[in-house]
Amino acid sequence: MELTVIAVLCVAAASVVGGATGFGTSLLATPLMLMAGIGLAETVVVNLVVALVTRVGVTVQLRDHINWRRVAVLGLASVPGAWLGVQTVNLLPEEHLKPAAGAITVLCGVAMALPAARSPRPPSTIATALTGAISGYFSTTTSLNGPPVVLLLSRARLPPMGFIADLAGYFVITSLVSLALLWSGTEIDVHALLPMIVSCTVVGVLANQLGIGIAMRLPTHVFRSAVISLVVIAGLVTFATA
């Protein structure tokens, strides 16, 4: 019960930020939950379920802003990456996964902060597919599936609502895929996690709506700065908790 309460508090704080930025829930919830003593496997499952439920609502709410072709490419490409991530989880102990995820997340944040060399333009299909595969791999290993896609979309300089909408559509697909693969390919006891999953999901939905309200009031430059800062800080914290 104590771990469930801690998990709920972590998800509540992270979901407000996640609603405002479109992707930050797992990035913040993961290091917070790991520092609180919750296992990596449990953290991954909880984050994926919360992401799925909250992003379904956002996808419906912002459906007019979604680039469906880009989301479809990202989602389909995430399948082989997520499958490979499950194989990694079964082979490697989690102490090898967490520092790597933290370091890559920081690199994504630094790359986002660099000035664009050319005028913003939509990412190519190849770049989109490769990003989806990498993100799928992170999804089943650490639930940190946001940074690669965030980097891809941020370089295109999408408006905040388009950015959040595309991420939401992608997260719905990759969360479903990842949960199915983890359920069938690992020994994670999902039934034992149900109280934590349900509690975190309810709180996550409410806190996420608060975050979306904040996002609608943020100027574009403030939004971009907040996204970059969030990626770097979360990566550093994840690396430090390894």
**Is residue 193 a contact partner of residue 45, using CB atoms and an 8 Å limit?**
yes
pLDDT at 134 (0 to 100): 93
CB atoms within 10 A of CB 161: 18
CA atoms within 13 A on the CB side of 62: 29
Position with higher pLDDT, 115 vs 148: 148
pLDDT tens digits, residue range 183-210?
Answer: 888 888 878 889 999 999 999 889 988 8
Spatial distance between the Cα atoms of 140 and 133, rounded to a whole number of angstroms: 11
pLDDT of 116 over the 60 cut: no
Q: Which of 228, 231, 74, 71 is nearest to 162 (CA)?
A: 71
With bands split at pLDDT 50, 70 and 90, how would you rate the model's confidence at 103? Answer: confident
